[in-house]
């Protein structure tokens, strides 16, 4: 039992350290140009303009939303975020997306949709 508690504490500390290095920035209002769904359950959003020059993995106009990355987004969370992204793409509404520029993937965890 004690060994399990110690392991849980260590895992929690590692998760906290990972989260403390992530810097949450926001894209500002943008239109979604494209959405790419990938086989691991995640997706990429491509915007009509640059997000950040640090976001180089798929181009400076994109962010990644994958389950279990820097922000520990769950699979269910990724599905909900994809639904919002698809809705915004279809309707032409603007979105503001959070991201972490500490990685070339610019991992994201939140989408705000607006007219």
Q: What is the CB neighbour count within 10 angstroms for residue 65?
A: 29
Cβ neighbours for 59, distance < 8 A, ≥ 6 positions apart: 46
- Cα 110 from Cα 88, distance rounded (Å): 14
DSSP-assigned beta bridge partners for residue 111: 97
- CATH topology for 24-114? OB fold (Dihydrolipoamide Acetyltransferase, E2P) (2.40.50)
Question: What pLDDT, on the 0 to 100 scale, is given for residue 21?
Answer: 57
50: left (phi over 0), alpha (psi -120 to 50) or beta: beta
pLDDT digits (tens, 9 = 90+) for 21-69: 568 999 999 999 999 999 999 999 999 999 999 999 999 999 999 998 8
Nearest to 35 by CA among 79, 104, 96, 85: 85
Cβ–Cβ < 8 Å for 37, 77: no
Nearest to 57 by CA among 9, 99, 112: 99
Instruction: Fill in the DSSP letter of residue 33.
Output: E
pLDDT digits (tens, 9 = 90+) for 76-93: 999 999 999 999 999 999
């Amino acid at each position: 039992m004690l060994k399990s508690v110690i392991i849980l504490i260590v895992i929690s500390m590692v998760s906290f350290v990972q989260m403390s290095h992530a810097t949450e920035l926001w894209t500002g209002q943008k239109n979604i140009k494209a959405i790419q769904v990938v086989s691991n359950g995640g997706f990429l959003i491509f915007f009509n303009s640059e997000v950040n020059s640090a976001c180089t993995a798929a181009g400076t106009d994109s962010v990644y939303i994958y389950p279990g990355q820097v922000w520990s987004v769950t699979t269910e969370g990724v599905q909900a975020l994809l639904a919002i992204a698809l809705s915004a793409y279809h309707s032409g509404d603007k979105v503001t997306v959070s991201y972490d520029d500490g990685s070339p993937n610019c991992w994201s965890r939140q989408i705000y949709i607006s007219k």
